[in-house]
Amino acid sequence: MTTHTVLNTVHDRNVENISQTLAQKLIAQSAHIQYATVGEIVMCDVDLAMFHDSSGPRRLKPMLESLGAKIWNKDRVVLVMDHFVPEADDEARKIVRIARDWAKEQQLPNVYDSQGICHVVVPQHGHILPGMLCVGGDSHSPTGGAFGAYMFGVGSTEMLGVMVTGQIWLKVPETIRMHWHGALAPGVCAKDMMLMMISRFGMNGGRYQAVEFTGTTIADLGMAERMTLSNMSAELGSQVGLIAPDLTTLNWLQDRLIQRAAKNSHDTLVHASIEQLAHVDLARWQTDTHALYIEHRFDATELAPMVAAPHSPANSRAVTEYDRTPIDIAYIGACTGAKLEDLVAAARILKGHRVPHHVKLMVAPASVSDMQKAKALGVADILQNAGAEFLPSACGACAGYGQTIPGHARVISTTARNFKGRMGSPDSEVYLASPYTVAASALTGFITDPRETMT
């Protein structure tokens, strides 16, 4: 498809000095400075630290104990058990037990055990708000950028520093804007947008800079789709994947916070978040007209469903180039392909049909909440009647844990990565695609353009 690249420049140095990108504004607020200059190294206050059973207690507990240090603010820590649950073996049981025991010992107030994938569960509970700076112990932590927050992944040593001090240093990044205009065709979605961009720029295309998604196409997307874009900015090599907050953002968050408050009317943190959300200045969290950035422009009307061949998301081409490639397994799971909206998309393809006996359709909803809603809407019944085997709401096969992909299998999956051996056996072949394409391929038994199966 046709793309255009522009460099936004200004000739007035005074304007340049005060005009800021969204990334610069978020960093400046956290660093308590008026303006953040690209290349400058600043110390930022952290609003939220998230980690899971794999990246968290088993690594942080012994380091904190060796330092004799305490957590700087337990209210700002979120622990999610999602990688090793349900426990498949003794090693998994040990890791999860460490997490559960430490959470109880520390009396952590925000713990989500076996409730789904951290990148979905944390925002669904209203923990990420516009204007925040957050860190996560997982490479797909940029998901938080969908809410107008500066969120990125860190390793255990950096997380230790955050846990003790509540701060982290940052080098202010340049911004690359991915500007999309026009309407997506039926059967085409955010996953296809990301696979196209990764194909165009490669997995180091963002060069650890800040990617910001903009344009009318982005504005028309729901939060689930925006989360997919921000999540997979990691596959572009970017530190963050930002989307400026708007009324869609605020309404989505307000609904989740109100639901959380209804379950616990005495939760003062939730009520504080609701109050904070009510005072979000949307105009403030926009990239200034005269800010400096590189911009790539795309026409969404030209985009076809995309498929990434083994063994890299960058091996992406239009689905028609893989036409009639046979598959053994169709996997609808992960934080990029099993949210409620993704399950609805798959059900739209599979309703009234059943997958052939030689195809295994596996569905692992991104969160327990999404699964409950899918049941209430009848979406789960549609998928089950089509032959789907439901798996627990966890990272599961996406991260190679639990029920993984067997050897010598050809898989089409909604996950974010298809590196050799990531989902299980290194002898398997994993193709990446959207929920529409995965469902259509499950229905036919070979990689299929979902537009051919939609009614």
Which numeric CATH code is attached to 306-452?
Answer: 3.30.499.10
How much is the pLDDT for 6?
66
- Tens-digit pLDDT string for the chain (455 aa): 656 666 675 545 454 568 999 999 999 999 999 999 999 999 999 999 999 999 999 999 999 999 999 999 999 999 999 999 999 999 999 999 999 999 999 999 999 999 999 999 999 999 999 999 999 999 999 999 999 999 999 999 999 999 999 999 999 999 999 999 999 999 999 999 999 999 999 998 767 799 999 999 999 999 999 999 999 999 999 999 999 999 999 999 999 999 989 888 778 889 899 999 999 999 999 999 999 999 999 999 999 999 999 999 999 999 999 988 999 999 999 999 999 999 999 999 999 999 999 999 999 999 999 999 999 999 999 999 999 999 999 999 998 887 678 888 999 999 999 999 899 889 999 999 999 999 999 999 999 999 999 86
How much is the pLDDT for 402?
73
Q: Examine residue 52 and say whether the peptide bond preceding it is cis (omega within 30 degrees of 0).
A: no
What does the angle CA 167 – CA 116 – CA 402 come to, to the nearest 5 degrees? 110
- What is the largest distance, in Å, between two alpha-carbon atoms of the chain? 67
Question: Which two tokens mark 99?
Answer: 């997490």
Q: Give residue for tokens 């096969």.
A: 397
Give domain 1-303's CATH number out of 1.20.1050.10, 3.40.50.2300, 3.30.499.10, 3.40.47.10: 3.30.499.10
Query: Cα separation of 165 and 70, whole Å?
Result: 9
Query: Cα separation of 301 and 265, whole Å?
Result: 46
In angstroms, the first-to-last Cα distance of the chain is: 26
> 1-303 and 306-452: same fold?
yes
Instruction: Describe the strand order of the beta sheet including 316-318 as a list of residue ranges.
Output: 316-318, 306-308, 429-432, 410-413, 329-333, 360-364, 388-390
Question: Which two tokens mark 332?
Answer: 């609808």
Residues forming beta bridges with residue 220, ordered by sequence position? none
- Which of 275, 272, 212 is CA-nearest to residue 245? 212
How much is the pLDDT for 185?
97
Q: Report whether 18 contacts 33 (CB < 8 A).
A: no
* Cα atoms in the Cβ-side hemisphere of radius 13 Å centred on 111: 18
How much is the pLDDT for 201?
95
How much is the pLDDT for 8?
76
How much is the pLDDT for 403?
64
Query: Cα separation of 57 and 318, whole Å?
Result: 42
Q: Report whether 194 contacts 188 (CB < 8 A).
A: no
Domain ranges of the chain: 1-303, 306-452
